[in-house]
A and B are shown apart, each in its own frame.
Chain A
Amino acid sequence: MEILTFEYPSAPLALAGQPALCGVVGSGNLEILIRAGERPDYCRIRIHTSARGFGEIWQAVIGEFAAGNAAGGTEIAINDMGATPAIVSLRLVQTLAEYAGERQ
């Protein structure tokens, strides 16, 4: 297992909701938990992943997410069981939408 921590500047999220969880820690999948963080213009992410050696790809995927979404003021925790970058991106946006109060 590898534990990765990132912190990215991101536009502040207007509405802070209840903690939101999406996904399951199953093969090729991951779970993402978003809750309120301390710094309103930063997004902190902590990842536990079963696949070692993919730090650079995580950095790219998370960086793109933080730049393209208003995710400031959040703390994001991820438990990953080998999800592909596309799945990670989709789950991040899905969880952020739920956190911001947009129920599917």
Chain B
Amino acid sequence: MKRDFNLRRSWFEASARARLAGLLDAGSGKELLPPAAAEPSPHLAALGLPGAFDDGVVVGSGRLAGRPVLFAAQEGQFMGGGVGEIHGAKIVGLLRRALREGPDAVLLLLDSGGVRLHEANAGLIAISEIMRAVLAVRAAGIPVIGLIGGSCGAFGGMGIVAKLCSHLVISEEGRLALSGPEVIETVAGVEEFDARDRALVWRVTGGKHRFLMGDCQAFVDDDPAAFRAAVEALLAESPVDVDELAQLRRQQAALTQRLAVFGQCRDGLEVWQALGVAAPENVPMLDARALVSLKEGLSA
């Protein structure tokens, strides 16, 4: 029996499998190495910790608006989405498969604090292999689209992987950075960054800030349907990476410029003011549509 409780569906709260169910065409998803065929991490077992059958990532193929895609969805609730040896190997294998099959896109549903510290060296190697594989897929003309809106955001090595993607879609709940707030506080002191100040964390790493800064190409509501619509729109543009070296040089110049303009800012609020936002204190209260039109106003 189909029941419709008319509840709002949240990407943030959904599991990796539930996100995929909302993202792909109904019934089109086919999982590679499903739980019944996979093995939990031997490293975690050696440490006396229960593993997950899929090692915290769901990989496979499916369709989105009829177009063939490959996907990898990280499960943030398992070990903070940490990348262990099997977890990483599944993503790398999927990206190499993309080179062979040539799908219209590879979708990376990121939800990870980075390397799984229990498998430190294997995890670090896995991250570097994922980075190389993402670049190889892009070089073959296949877009890699990152989707960020889970509870763990995209930090550490997966923050780097995110920025190697052709396009990023993010929600207000999503976060993207290299070092996590607690790491910065531990290393540089609470005067530098107060990780308990959640509002500050989101003003510095959150989806709205990343979108206003141009680090992410699409900003969406916390809803699987909204993520799906954003990916559909990106696919319709038939994104291809052209003239890579010139593009990299432009990006490098833009980053140098960014450091010069915003380098002294202590808070997202100051950055938004410098960007030309008339009332930066109102940004956290804006809904997705209002923020997108604010951004369009800035670039005009």
Which residues of A approach B to under 8 Å, CB–CB? Answer: 1, 19, 21, 24-27, 29, 31, 33, 35, 48-50, 77, 79-81
B residues apposed to A, CB below 8 Å: 15, 17, 34-36, 40, 45, 48-53, 75, 77-79
Q: Is the CB of A24 within 8 A of B52?
A: yes
For A49, what are the chain B residues with a Cβ–Cβ distance below 8 Å? 50
Q: Is the CB of B36 within 8 A of A25?
A: no
Q: Are B53 and A21 in contact (CB under 8 A)?
A: yes
The one of B45, B48, B51 that contacts A25, using a Cβ cutoff of 8 Å: B51
Q: What distance in Å separates the Cβ of A76 from its nearest Cβ neighbour in chain B? A: 12
Quick check: A80 and B35 within 8 Å, CB to CB? Answer: no
A81 to B79 alpha-carbon distance, docked (Å): 11
Q: Are A79 and B53 in contact (CB-based, < 8 A)? A: yes
B50 & A48 in contact (Cβ 8 Å cutoff): yes
A80 touches B50 (CB 8 A): yes
- Name the contact of B78 in the complex, choosing from A1, A26, A80 (C-beta under 8 A): A26
What are the residues of chain A within 8 A of B49 when measuring CB–CB? 1, 50
| Residue of A25, A33, A48 contacting most chain B CB atoms (<10 Å) | A25
Q: What is the distance, in angstroms, from B11's C-beta to the closest C-beta of chain A?
A: 15
Residue in chain B with minimal CB distance to A24: B77
Q: How far is the CA of A50 from the CA of B118 in the complex (A)?
A: 15
Query: Contact between A35 and B36 (Cβ–Cβ < 8 Å)?
Result: yes
Q: Which residue of A lies closest to B16 (CB)?
A: A24
Known: A33-B36, A35-B36. A79 touches B77 (CB 8 A): no
Q: Cβ of B40 and Cβ of A79 under 8 Å apart?
A: yes
- Contact residues in A for B17 (Cβ distance below 8 Å): 21
Known: A24-B15, A25-B78. A19 touches B36 (CB 8 A): yes
Inter-chain contact B35/A21, CB cutoff 8 Å: yes
Q: Which residues of A contact B48 (CB under 8 A)?
A: 1
A81 to B50, CA, bound (A): 7
Question: Bound state CA distance, A79 and B79, in angstroms?
Answer: 13
Is there contact, CB below 8 Å, between B52 and A31?
Answer: yes
Chain B nearest CB from A5 CB (Å) reads 14
- B53, A33: Cβ atoms closer than 8 Å: yes
Q: Which residues of A contact B78 (CB under 8 A)?
A: 24-26
* Closest residue on chain B to residue A34 by CB atoms: B36
Judge whether B51 and A48 touch: CB under 8 Å. yes
In the complex, how many angstroms separate the beta carbon of A17 from the nearest chain B beta carbon? 12
Q: Could you list 29 examples of A-B contacts with CB < 8 Å?
A: A1-B45, A1-B48, A1-B49, A1-B50, A21-B17, A21-B34, A21-B35, A21-B36, A24-B77, A24-B78, A25-B51, A25-B52, A25-B77, A26-B77, A27-B77, A29-B77, A31-B52, A33-B35, A33-B36, A35-B36, A48-B40, A48-B50, A48-B51, A50-B50, A77-B53, A79-B40, A79-B50, A79-B52, A81-B50
Kindly list chain A residues whose C-beta atoms are within 8 Å of the C-beta of B77.
Answer: 24-27, 29
A21 and B36 CA atoms in complex are apart in Å by 8
Most buried by B among A21, A27, A50: A21
A25 — which chain B residues lie within 8 A by C-beta? 50-52, 77-79
Residues from chain A with a CB closer than 8 A to the CB of B15 are 24
A34 CB, nearest partner CB in chain B, Å: 9
A79–B51 touching, CB < 8 Å: yes
List of B residues within 8 angstroms of A24 by Cβ: 15, 52, 75, 77-78
CA distance A100 to B36 in the complex (A): 16
In the bound complex, CA of A3 to CA of B48 (Å): 10
Chain B residues with Cβ under 8 A from A1's Cβ?
Answer: 45, 48-50
Closest 7 CB pairs of A and B: A26-B77, A19-B36, A48-B50, A1-B48, A25-B52, A79-B50, A24-B77
Using known A-B contacts A24-B15, A26-B77, determine if residue A19 contacts B51 with beta carbons closer than 8 Å: no
